[in-house]
Structure 1
């Protein structure tokens, strides 16, 4: 039987990859690379976005 995937809202700026590790070039004294962890500023590292509340329609009175 087919499984249903959860319908989560993926961040449009990072496409769900909210954190990236970037090498800076220099190495530590033990030989490992120095890295920076950068998170998506839009979703703040979650990879998902909240649903926007729908705009309520105004009632039309006649």
Structure 2
């Protein structure tokens, strides 16, 4: 039987890449680059977003 993957919505702001390392251009004393780790503020570093709440239909 076929196995289906769960449909988890990807964050629209980071496209599923929630954490990035940005090089500052400087180097440490041992020669490695100084980097900053930045996480996506929308998904808080998970890469996924919660599905939108379904609208309740109000009627008679």
Normalising to structure 2: TM-score of the pair? 0.89
SS at match of 2:36: strand
**1:9 aligned residue:** 9
Moved over 4 A (4+): none
User: CA RMSD, aligned part only?
Assistant: 1.1
Q: Which runs of 5+ in 2 are unaligned?
A: none
Q: Which runs of 5+ in 1 are unaligned?
A: none
**2:53 aligned residue:** 53
Normalising to structure 1: TM-score of the pair? 0.87
Aligned residues: 60
